[in-house]
Amino acid sequence: MSNKENFVDKEALIRQIQHCDNPYLLYQIRQLLQRADDLEPLTQLVADFPILVQDAPPRDLRVITGIDPPRQNALERYDTLISPFLYVVGLGMLVLAAALVNLLSHEGENISIALFQSKVAGIYLMGWSVFVLDIAVVYWIARKSPTKPLRGDWAKRLLVLVFPPLRIGTPHLLDPSIQWMPFKGWSYRNEGLLKHLKEKFSIPMIVIALLIIPVLIIEWKFYESAEQYLQTDLGFWLDMAQGFIWLAFTFEFILMLSISREKLAYAVGNWIDLLIILLPFVAFVRTIRLVKIARLTQVARGYKLRGLLMKARQGVLFAGFLYRIMTLKDFQVKTLKKKLDKNQQAREILEEELLALQHRIAQNNAKSVRVKKV
């Protein structure tokens, strides 16, 4: 980067600042300039590594659906045709998984539940065999196809055998940039689609999350009286209701995780979702009777309520700017300001690491010069 280029960029920046009346942007510029002296050593580091001042790739916020998938060979045609069917089967498997997870909390309680549980497990096993057959067909076609799936694509398909509902988030076998979704067809997997689906899911997920409140009120306060009035196994139906909530959050998480390019970051940033998804497995504790010691299931459901309410609060962020202004304006602004401050602190820490790196490079260069003189 030449001095002339620096001068031109600086002049253009000065003109932009002179025409800027946005107080937020001017505040950010002032914050950066206050660290000008501290960051002066980075001048040499930028000269040595120009990548530090290169523009980051722009965010891809396009929403591209209804894509015509590849059909050039037998394997592409097979995956294109079979994906919608396997999506439906995967969704059905998720419904069965939700039922099984909650039925486990009633294991051994009565013969009717045990029979129903065995029937659900049998249907689940039949659905699982569909995906085993799919893997076999793909392997047979791939042996004769000139285009072979990559190892990573094979791994995703094999992972479906571990938990078949993952099929709803599986991309095209030979074009991982697209995946099939109901009402949208083959869609391009990018940040724009992720943002679009978050906005679409926000209000329904708030409603579903809030359904846990009457369920828990009945279970904790009015269980006996409600069961006597309805003359039915109320616990079974309450667990089915919680299973529906679990299904909704698991479906959303699988779909969003599959579209996200930064999957680990998405999972960490949505740990509440993982908590909601994993909590029902605490039901296994009943099978070893530890629940009699600490009543862990009640504790787990308490945390589930907390997690679902936090999820509802998350959904408010995607309900739209107008909705936030009309309802939780002050709270949301303060919350987002705290996040901006944390991001600024994280940026300063990274800049300090760059300064430390520049200091080590300078020390090593000085040592090299002394060695050459000797």
pLDDT given for residue 331 in this prediction: 57
User: 98: exposed, middle or buried (C-beta count within 10 Å: 0-12, 13-18, 19+)?
Assistant: buried
Q: Determine how many CB atoms are found less than 10 A away from the CB of residue 239.
A: 25
Q: Cα–Cα distance between 79 and 134 in angstroms, integer?
A: 10
Hunting for tokens 């679902």 — which residue is that?
Answer: 308
Q: Determine how many CB atoms are found less than 10 A away from the CB of residue 173.
A: 24
pLDDT given for residue 234 in this prediction: 74
Hunting for tokens 């705290």 — which residue is that?
Answer: 338
List phi, psi (to 5°) of 249: -70, -35
pLDDT given for residue 34 in this prediction: 85
pLDDT given for residue 130 in this prediction: 96
Extract the tokens encoding 130. 């569909």
H/E stretch holding 114 = helix 111-144
pLDDT by residue for the chain (374 residues), tens only, comes to: 444 444 347 888 888 888 888 888 888 888 888 888 888 888 888 888 888 777 778 888 999 999 999 998 999 999 999 999 999 999 999 999 988 877 665 555 566 666 777 888 899 999 999 999 999 999 999 988 888 888 888 888 899 999 999 999 999 999 999 999 999 999 999 999 999 998 898 888 877 877 777 777 777 777 777 777 777 767 777 777 778 888 988 999 999 999 998 899 888 888 877 877 776 665 444 444 444 444 444 545 544 544 444 444 334 333 333 443 444 455 567 777 777 888 888 888 888 888 888 888 888 877 776 666 65
Percent of the chain scoring above 70 in pLDDT: 78
Q: How far apart are the first and last CA of the chain?
A: 34
Q: Which of 26, 17, 23, 27 is nearest to 341 (CA)?
A: 27
Q: What is the chain's mean pLDDT, rounded?
A: 78
Q: Cα–Cα distance between 239 and 236 in angstroms, integer?
A: 5
pLDDT digits (tens, 9 = 90+) for 26-76: 888 888 888 888 888 888 888 888 887 777 788 889 999 999 999 989 999
pLDDT given for residue 185 in this prediction: 95
Q: Which of 355, 371, 367, 362 is nearest to 42 (CA)?
A: 355
pLDDT given for residue 292 in this prediction: 41
- Report the greatest alpha carbon distance in the chain: 96
pLDDT given for residue 95 in this prediction: 94
Q: Cα–Cα distance between 208 and 306 in angstroms, integer?
A: 14
Kindly write down the DSSP assignment for every residue of 157-206, as one continuous string. HHHHHHSGGGGGG---SS-TTEEEETTTEEEE-SHHHHHHHHHHHHHHHH
pLDDT digits (tens, 9 = 90+) for 267-299: 888 887 787 777 666 544 444 444 444 444 454
Three-state DSSP class for residue 285: helix
User: 64: exposed, middle or buried (C-beta count within 10 Å: 0-12, 13-18, 19+)?
Assistant: middle
Q: What is the pTM of this model?
A: 0.73
The strand ranges marked E within 201-247 are none
